C-alpha cells in the first residue's frame, strides 16, 4: 500500500464526477430546506466526500481529501453554483439525477480502489455499494429526510449492479477503463429507469 | 499489533454469533418495512458489521471483514433466510431477541479485542458497550425508527454489564473463555429480563 | 507523526473544555428526554468524544481517548453532575450554551491538531468545522431531534469563523496560544449572539 494523495490511473475522472455530483446533491437538499450558504457548503462537503471517506477508512487508505485543497474547493464551488443558479422548483428532480450519477460513479471507483488495495472480491464489491450509498444516506439523515434507502424504487440495486459488474469484469481481466465504462453506464441506466419509470424490485410480503 | 484477519482464540464463535444475529436483526427491520431483497441484504450487512467496524477503526485494527469473503457471505445468508422463512407477524418479537444475543456477544468480544490491542481498561469497557450498541443504532437510524437507545427498558445497561464484568474478570486473571461465558450470559439475561418484564432503571425526574 | 496520547502544547485545556462541555450537552439531552443514568453516560461519552474521534480517524492519528482512562472518566463525571444537579427546566437553555463553548473550543483545537499532522490548510479548516459540529450532530440524531444544523440561527458559521481565523493566523505565524484565544472567543461570540438574538444568515429563497 502506498499513500494515495492523487488517485492514479484512468478513473480519476470518475472520482471527481462522484465528488462534484454528490456535492451538488447535498447543496440541493440544503436548497429544498431553504438553508443558508454556510449550510449549503456543509452539506455539499459532507455528501461529496462522505462515501469516499468511509471507503478509505475501511480499506486503510489515507483519507483522500486530507492532503490537498482541491477536493474541498470542488465541493465549495458546487455549493456556490447551486446557491447562485438553482431554482427551488427544479431542485427536487435535479437532486435525483445528480444522485444517480454519483451513485454509479462511486460504485465503480470505490470497488476499483478497494481491489487496488488488495481487498477480497466480495468486500470490494460491498465497498463499492456501501460507499456509493453512504453520501446520500448521510445527507438524508442530517436533513431529517426519510433515507433514500427506504424509498420504493431501485437504489442500492443500481449500485450493486455497477459494483458487481465491475468486480466481475476486473477479475476476468477486462481492461479497467472499459469495465468501468460498462459497469458505470449499466448502474446509471438502471437507477435512471427506476427514477423515470418508478421501476422497483418486488417487496417483502411476509 | 498484528493483522487480525482471522480473529484468534476461543472467542471466534462469539464474533460470528454477533455478526449473524445482528445481520438477522437488520433483515428483520427490512421485513417490517416491507423492503426488497437487496435492501434486506444492505441492512443485514450494515447491522452485522457496523459495531465491529467501529471497534476496529477506533483501536487501529484492520477492519475485520475486508480481507476475506466469509463475513459478508454470512450476512448475505442471514438476509436470504429471513426473506425466505420469516413471517412479518413474528418479526418484531424475534428482532428484540436476536438483538439481545448480538448485544451480549459483541459487548464481550469487543472488550476482549480491545484489551488484546493494549487498550486501557476504561476505554476497553467502553469499546465493548459502544460497539455492541452501534449495530442496532445504525439499523434504527437508517430505518427512521426511534433509536433503541431511547426506549424505556434496559439496553445500554445490559451491554455495560457484560463488558464491565468481562473486563473486571480479565484484569483479575480469570480464564478468558470462562469470563466470556459468565459475562455474556449475564448481559443476555439482563437484556432478556428487560424485554420479557419491561425491566428498567429509574429515569430522570429533574 | 507520533502517537499523541497526551495532546502536547498549550491547547490541551481547550481539548478538555471541549470534551467536558460536549459531554454535559449530551447528558442534558438525556435529561430532556427523561432517560436513565446509563443513557446519560452513553450520551455524554458519544457527544464528548464524537467530534475528536472523527478528526483523529480522518487525519490518521491514534484515537485520542483509547490509550488512557481520563477522557472517559471526564465524560462520566459530567453525566453524573448533570444527573445529580440539573433541573429539567434549566436544561434546554443550558444545552445551547454548553454546546456553544464546545463548538468554539473544538473548532480551534481540531484545526490545530490537523495542522500539526501536516494536513493542508483547506482540509485543516474543514477538520475544525466538521469535528466541532459532529458531536452535536450525533447527539441530535441519536435523540431523534431535528439536527442543530437545520435550525435557523448561525451554527456551522460560528465554527467556520473560529476554524478559519485560527488557520489564517497560524499560517501567518501568529503564536498558537494567542491565535487560539482570538479565534475561539470570536467563534463563541458569534454563536452566543446567534443564541441570544436569533442572529442568522439570509436563507435561500430560490
Whether the pLDDT of residue C189 is over 80: the answer is yes
Among C3, C37, C66, the residue to mutate for chain B (most B Cβ within 10 A):
C66
Answer yes or no: do A141 and B141 touch at CB < 8 A. yes
Instruction: Name the band, by pLDDT with cuts 50, 70 and 90, for residue B35.
Output: confident
CA–CA separation, A142 vs A44, rounded Å?
12
What is the mean predicted confidence (pLDDT) over B32-47?
Answer: 88
**Highest averaged pLDDT of the listed ranges C6-15, C27-36, C79-88, C106-115:** C106-115
- Cell numbers representing residue A88 in the block: 427551488
Residue of B nearest to A200 (CA): B36
Instruction: Name the band, by pLDDT with cuts 50, 70 and 90, for residue B23.
Output: very high
- Cell numbers representing residue A75 in the block: 465541493
Whether the pLDDT of residue C39 is over 90: the answer is no
Q: How far is CA A158 from CA A51, B45, B71, B152, C117, in A?
A: 16, 17, 23, 39, 38
Answer yes or no: do C156 and A42 touch at CB < 8 A. yes
DSSP state letters, B124-191: HHHHHHHHHHHHHHHHHHHHTPPPGGGSSS-SHHHHHHHHHHHHHHHHTT--HHHHHHHHHHHHHHHH
Which tens digit of pLDDT belongs to each residue from B79-108?
Answer: 999 999 877 666 677 778 888 988 998 899
Whether the pLDDT of residue C193 is over 50: the answer is yes
Answer yes or no: do A120 and B69 touch at CB < 8 A. yes
Residues whose CB is less than 8 angstroms from the CB of residue A181 and which lie 6 or more positions away in sequence, other chains included: none
Residue of A nearest to B74 (CA): A122
Looking at the DSSP bridge assignments, the partners of residue C36 are B203
Whether the pLDDT of residue C139 is over 90: the answer is no
Which residues on chain C are in Cβ contact (under 8 Å) with B57?
Answer: 57, 63
Specify the pLDDT at position A193: 92
Instruction: Name the band, by pLDDT with cuts 50, 70 and 90, for residue C2.
Output: very low
Q: Which DSSP category does B62 fall into?
A: P
Specify the pLDDT at position B11: 67
Q: Could you say which of B120, B147, B205 has the minimum Cβ distance to residue C69? A: B120
Distance from CA of A157 to the nearest CA of B (A): 6
Answer yes or no: do A34 and C141 touch at CB < 8 A. no
Which residues on chain B are in Cβ contact (under 8 Å) with A160?
Answer: 38
Which tens digit of pLDDT belongs to each residue from B56-77?
Answer: 999 999 999 998 899 999 999 9
Which residues on chain A are in Cβ contact (under 8 Å) with B69?
Answer: 120-123
CA–CA separation, C122 vs C143, rounded Å?
32
Specify the pLDDT at position C13: 72
Instruction: Name the band, by pLDDT with cuts 50, 70 and 90, for residue C61.
Output: very high
Whether the pLDDT of residue C112 is over 90: the answer is yes
Higher pLDDT, A94 or C118: C118
Domain boundaries, chain B: 12-197
What are B's interface residues with C at a Cβ cutoff of 8 A?
Answer: 57-60, 114, 118-123, 126-127, 129-130, 133, 137, 141, 146-147, 149-150, 154, 156-157, 160, 200-206
Answer yes or no: do A91 and C126 touch at CB < 8 A. no
Residues present in chain A in total = 206
HSE toward the beta carbon, residue A23, CA cutoff 13 A:
25
Among B5, B31, B39, B70, the residue to mutate for chain A (most A Cβ within 10 A):
B39
Q: Could you say which of B35, B65, B71 has the minimum Cβ distance to residue A150? A: B35
Residue of C nearest to B139 (CA): C142
What is the mean predicted confidence (pLDDT) over B112-141?
Answer: 90
In this prediction, what percent of chain C has a pLDDT beyond 70?
Answer: 91
Higher pLDDT, B76 or C94: B76
CA–CA separation, C68 vs C89, rounded Å?
35
Between A26-40, C54-68, C145-159, the lowest mean confidence (pLDDT) is in C145-159
Residues present in chain B in total = 206
Specify the pLDDT at position B88: 62
Specify the pLDDT at position A89: 65
Distance from CA of B65 to the nearest CA of C (A): 18
* pLDDT tens for each residue of chain A, 206 residues long: 333 433 455 567 777 878 888 899 899 888 888 888 888 899 999 999 999 999 999 999 999 999 889 999 999 999 999 999 877 666 677 778 888 988 998 899 999 999 999 999 999 999 999 889 888 888 888 888 877 777 767 888 999 999 999 999 999 999 999 999 999 999 999 999 998 988 777 777 76
Residue of A nearest to B82 (CA): A206
Distance from CA of A41 to the nearest CA of B (A): 24
Neighbours of B201 (CB within 10 A): 16
End-to-end CA distance of chain B: 46
Between A2-16, B34-48, C170-184, the lowest mean confidence (pLDDT) is in A2-16
Picking from C63, C24, C29, the residue whose alpha carbon sits closest to that of residue C142 is: C29
Which residues on chain B are in Cβ contact (under 8 Å) with C81?
Answer: none
B28 three-class SS: helix
Instruction: Name the band, by pLDDT with cuts 50, 70 and 90, for residue C89.
Output: low
Specify the pLDDT at position B6: 39
Distance from CA of A95 to the nearest CA of B (A): 20
Higher pLDDT, B8 or C199: C199
Specify the pLDDT at position B175: 92
Higher pLDDT, B18 or B169: B169
Are A104 and A191 in contact by the 8 Å Cβ rule? The answer is yes
Q: How far is CA C81 from the centre of its chain?
A: 19
Specify the pLDDT at position A9: 56
Whether the pLDDT of residue B7 is over 60: the answer is no
Q: Is the dihedral of CA A65, C71, B55, B117 positive or negative?
A: positive
Which tens digit of pLDDT belongs to each residue from B100-109?
Answer: 988 998 899 9
Amino acid at each position: 500500500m502506498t499513500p494515495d494523495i492523487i488517485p492514479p490511473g484512468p478513473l480519476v475522472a470518475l472520482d471527481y464526477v462522484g465528488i462534484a455530483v454528490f456535492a451538488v446533491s447535498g447543496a440541493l437538499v440544503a436548497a429544498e430546506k431553504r438553508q443558508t450558504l454556510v449550510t449549503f457548503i456543509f452539506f455539499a462537503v459532507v455528501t461529496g466526500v462522505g462515501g469516499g471517506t468511509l471507503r478509505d477508512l475501511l480499506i486503510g487508505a489515507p483519507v483522500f481529501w486530507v492532503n490537498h485543497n482541491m477536493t474541498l474547493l470542488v465541493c465549495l464551488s458546487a455549493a456556490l453554483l447551486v446557491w447562485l443558479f438553482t431554482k427551488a422548483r427544479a431542485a427536487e428532480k435535479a437532486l435525483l439525477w445528480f444522485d444517480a450519477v454519483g451513485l454509479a460513479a462511486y460504485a465503480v471507483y470505490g470497488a476499483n480502489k478497494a481491489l487496488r488495495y488488495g481487498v477480497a472480491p466480495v468486500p470490494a464489491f460491498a465497498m463499492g455499494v456501501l460507499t456509493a450509498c453512504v453520501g446520500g444516506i448521510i445527507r438524508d439523515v442530517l436533513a431529517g429526510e426519510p433515507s433514500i434507502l427506504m424509498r420504493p424504487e431501485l437504489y442500492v440495486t443500481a449500485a450493486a449492479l455497477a459494483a458487481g459488474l465491475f468486480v466481475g469484469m476486473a477479475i476476468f481481466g477486462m481492461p479497467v477503463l472499459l469495465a468501468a465504462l460498462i459497469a458505470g453506464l449499466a448502474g446509471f441506466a438502471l437507477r435512471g429507469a427506476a427514477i423515470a419509470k418508478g421501476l422497483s424490485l418486488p417487496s417483502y410480503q411476509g
